[in-house]
Structure 1
Amino acid sequence: MSIIGSYLRLAPAEFARALEEPGWVREFAREQAALEHRRDPSELRFHDTGKSWAALAHLLARRGLPTEPVHGGTPLPGDEDWGYGPPTLLAPDRVAAAVRELADLPFDTLAAGLTPADLAAAEVYPVRLWADDPSALDHLSAHYTDLLRYLTRTARYRHGLLIWYS
């Protein structure tokens, strides 16, 4: 079984409600997932980083950048574990700040000097991927590009994020 990093864009009223009624957002996420196949690709509310979430956080941390775009910000108050810990919320202003910090940071710069063997040696999840797949950095680059695109769209809408691992 794999641990997947998952995201849901929340409009300001939804974000506020999630803070006030943490139990509500789980059902809301399920409802939104059911609607996702009907949305235009530019309007998708869900995103996932697959198994690359830990490596993305590692890359950001090694450059001294906040890992909030991967790990989230504030734990969802009073909510239970959704698979691998409780979900977190990233406020709209933090999403916008992350986009400003990452907008001019291409993957090649972010990962300069890094090899899959370095990720394996640092025991970054999933270690076997980095040890066994010579094209692993290509996959990681694609996930970084997709995440940055998703964060940019989220910031443009002035939305916040619900982030969880399952």
Structure 2
Amino acid sequence: MSMNGEFLRVTPGELARALEDPEWALDFAAEVQEQEDDRTAPAEARHFTTHQTWHLLDFLLKRLAFPVDITYGEEPIPEADDWGYEPPRYLTDERVRLAAERLGRMTYAELIRGVDQAELVAAEVYPQIWDSPSSLEWAGDVFPALTEFFQAAASAGHAIVIWLD
């Protein structure tokens, strides 16, 4: 079984309801996931997954002191059960806007510049596939799509709920 980074765009009203009723939020997330598939453009999607690249992206962003925790979220959803590997967390619309702005200023090439695979092995970055010279390119397609997803959420004034599944 693999671990996947999951993101759900929510309106301010949906976030308020999720904070009051975490069970509703889990059902809502499942409903959105069922309605969309991988062909939905990130700018149009309510749900986005980084698949197994979540930990690599987290490592790379933290290495650059990225100001928003877009991998795990920043605020817990009170009294929420695990949605996979842990309870969900969220980013407010203000934090989504900051993340989108900063993501829009960087490329994946800049994100991986100067990274050595040995660093990833030493940090035990999941999944442990860092023996190939091309392994850093693995998240190259995911990063621009994640940026597009965040920018669309920011433009709409949405918050984002985040979990590992």
Q: Offset at 1:116? A: 2.8
Distance 2:138 2:68 in 1: 19
Q: Residue 61 of structure 1 contacts residue 67 of structure 1 at CA under 8 Å; is this kept in 2?
A: no
1:142 alignment partner in structure 2: 141
Q: How does 1:120-139 map to 2 (within 5 A)?
A: 120-127=121-128, 129-131=129-131, 133-139=132-138
Q: How big is each residue's C-alpha offset from its partner over 1:68-119, in whole Å with a ceiling of 9 and x where there is no partner? A: 1111111111011111110111111100011122211112222111133321
Q: For 1:16, give the aligned amino acid.
A: A
Relative to structure 1, the CA distance from residue 118 to residue 82 in structure 2 (aligned partners, 3 Å threshold; closer, same or farther) is same
Percent identical: 37
2:85 alignment partner in structure 1: 84
Secondary structure of the residue aligned to 2:48 is: strand
Q: Residue 73 of structure 2 contacts residue 91 of structure 2 at CA under 8 Å; is this kept in 1?
A: yes
Q: Offset at 1:40? A: 5.5
Secondary structure of the residue aligned to 1:105 is: coil
1:12 alignment partner in structure 2: 12
Query: Normalization by structure 2: what TM-score?
Result: 0.91
Q: Residue 68 of structure 2 contacts residue 95 of structure 2 at CA under 8 Å; is this kept in 1?
A: no
Q: Offset at 1:141? A: 1.9
Q: How does 1:51-130 map to 2 (within 5 A)?
A: 51-127=52-128, 129-130=129-130
Q: Offset at 1:67? A: 4.7
Secondary structure of the residue aligned to 2:140 is: helix
Q: Residue 57 of structure 1 contacts residue 67 of structure 1 at CA under 8 Å; is this kept in 2?
A: no
Q: Residue 68 of structure 2 contacts residue 98 of structure 2 at CA under 8 Å; is this kept in 1?
A: no
Distance 1:51 1:31 in 2: 22
Q: For 1:12, give the aligned amino acid.
A: P
Q: For 1:155, give the aligned amino acid.
A: A
Aligned residue pairs total 163
- Structure 1 window deviating more from structure 2 (101-110 vs 155-164): it is 101-110
Query: Normalization by structure 1: what TM-score?
Result: 0.90
Relative to structure 1, the CA distance from residue 143 to residue 115 in structure 2 (aligned partners, 3 Å threshold; closer, same or farther) is farther
Secondary structure of the residue aligned to 1:69 is: coil
- Structure 1 window deviating more from structure 2 (113-122 vs 151-160): it is 113-122
Relative to structure 1, the CA distance from residue 123 to residue 76 in structure 2 (aligned partners, 3 Å threshold; closer, same or farther) is same
Secondary structure of the residue aligned to 1:113 is: coil
5+ residue gaps, structure 2, are none
1:45 alignment partner in structure 2: 46
